[in-house]
Each structure stands twice: as C-alpha cells, then as structure tokens.
Structure 1
Amino acid sequence: MQNKFMSELKEQLQDLPKAEQQDILYDYEEHFRSGLEEGKTEEEIAVSLGQPQAIAREVKSEFRVKEAKPVPSADSVGKAILVTVALVFFNLIFIIGPFFAIAGTLLGLFASSLALLLFPFGLLFSWHQLSGAPDWLMGVFAMLTSLGAGVLMVVGSIVLTRWFYRLTIKYLQFNVMMIKGS
C-alpha cells in the first residue's frame, strides 16, 4: 500500500522541481515510517494521509503561491515609502498624544495604588496618637480599607496595563502590515 501511495504521489508531483518533489516524498515516507513504528498498518496510514491527488493539488497550489510572491519593484517601494510617511504623520498627530495620556494615566494608577498600600504603614507609625483617642477603631478600619483599595487598584492597573500592551502591539503590527502592503 505504501509503494502504491508513494508512486501515485510522485506521479502527481511531476510538475514541481525535482528538489521540491524529493522533499515532499521524503516527508510522506517519514509519515509512513513513524506510523509503522506506532503499530499502524500501511493502509491505515494511507487513509489518514488522504488521497495522493488531493495532496498533490494542495502542495502545487502552495508552491505556486510561494513562487508568485511579489518581487520588490520601484512602484512597490514607492508605495511603501508613501504609506510609511503617511503613517508617521498620522501617528504623530493622532496616536502619540493619546498613547502618552493613557500611559500617564496607568502610571498614575500605579502611584495611587502604592500610596493606598503605604497609607496603613503611615498610620502604624502614628498609632500612639490613635490608641488614646476614642476613634482608634476608625483608624483600624481606615487602614484596612486603604489596604484593600490599594490591592484592588494594583490588580486593576495590572489588567489595564496588559490590555494596553496588547493593543499597542496589535497597532504596531498593523503599521508594519500597512507598510508591507499586505
């Protein structure tokens, strides 16, 4: 069954360059080898791989797409330069300001979180003033509230920062795609 499968596949791949044919045939021989080592029969392996004609059609289409990749020309380079310049101006006018505003806001959230986390320690240092006062219990509640709010703000800030990071990476990838023209 393996020999029949491989000979049909080889016959279907005649249009491709010899080196490409050999690579593909070698890959499918490896499939058979590894399948036999796993205890499968040649027939089971051939069925799982599919029809040689379908495999050859897919491989040929992938090869043609790869072969047809555009070669850089003066026109495509000119378009890339024009898109790059336009993106630079767009980014300077519309993106940089909001980017730094959001980054500053995130930094402010982290600073506020740190202040809320450190507030209970400040109260502990002045505890001697609170211990004699009738509202010392209010100080304990203030410390716990501040600590809880600080922890929640840290978690929220981390989530927002991750979201902002992912959004920034996607926007940068979009810019690269625009420049490449894809």
Structure 2
Amino acid sequence: MKKLMLAALALFVLPATVQADHHKETAKKNIVETAVAAKFNTLVAAVEAGGLVETLSGEGPFTVFAPTDEAFGKLPKGTLETLLKPENKDQLVQILKYHVVAAKVPAAKVVELKKADTLAGEVTIEVKDGTVMLNDKVKVVKTDVMATNGVIHVIDTVLLPPSK
C-alpha cells in the first residue's frame, strides 16, 4: 500500500518537478514582482499595507502560499477592508506571515511533509486524492511558480493563524 501511495505521489509530483526545473532557469523576478505580474492584486495590496514588500523582495529564500483574489473574496464581508487599515497592521502582518515559509520548498518536497513552519506558526499538509491540502481546508491549486528568491504555491483560501 505504501508503494502504491508513493507511486501515486510520484505521478502528481513529476510534472511539477519538471515544471519547476523549467522555471528555475527562467525566473527573473522576485516573489513580489512575480505576484504583481501574476495579478495577485489583493495579496500585493496586503503585502504593501503590511510593509512586507522589501522583505519579500529580499534574498530569501521564501515559499509563499499565495491566496488568489477569489480566496480573499471568501473572507467575511468587511474583513479585508478592516485588515488593510493602518491600525490593524500587526494583525495583517501575522496573517501574511502565516503564508510564508523561510525556505524554498518546491511541490516535490511539500508532498513529503506533514507540516510546514511558517513565520507565524505551523501549517499542516496532507495529500488527499492527489490534491495538496493545508490545514484540512485550503487547497493548493497551482504549484512551483518560481521566483529568483523562492517559490509560490497558489491556494484557494486565505490561511488564518490559530488564535492564541
């Protein structure tokens, strides 16, 4: 059974690995520039409001679980607007840091992990029916968007750090 699971994972991972190798050669933009070019408008606005542009443009390496604009749209009405206010910067930064791992972790390695330590806490990782899920609810919809200082994995829901 374990060999069958590994074979299934290999089928899932192989295309991502090939894609990663291809992008490794062509990545010419950092994480923030890549997010801008890929039109992650809400994420970029949040990174700017949180004052993290310089950090995520830095040397890295980083892995960013990047929510789509649609993912931000799933937040309760008014939540995003509230988070983007200057007086809520600390809370916004914590949420953004929960999407960042201080290492380059391509899809081939993500599927081997049970958890990832983000800058704001632990995220659980599980492969269900060939789909990578974070914290049981968040689906990774695209992997290995390569940048000069790391990698972006696109997710369909905003990750919220556990309450303290």
The two structures share one fold, judged by TM-score above 0.5: no
Q: More helix per residue: 1 or 2?
A: 1
Q: TM-score, normalised by structure 2?
A: 0.23
Q: More strand per residue: 1 or 2?
A: 2
* Higher RCO (C-alpha under 8 Å, 6+ residues apart): 2
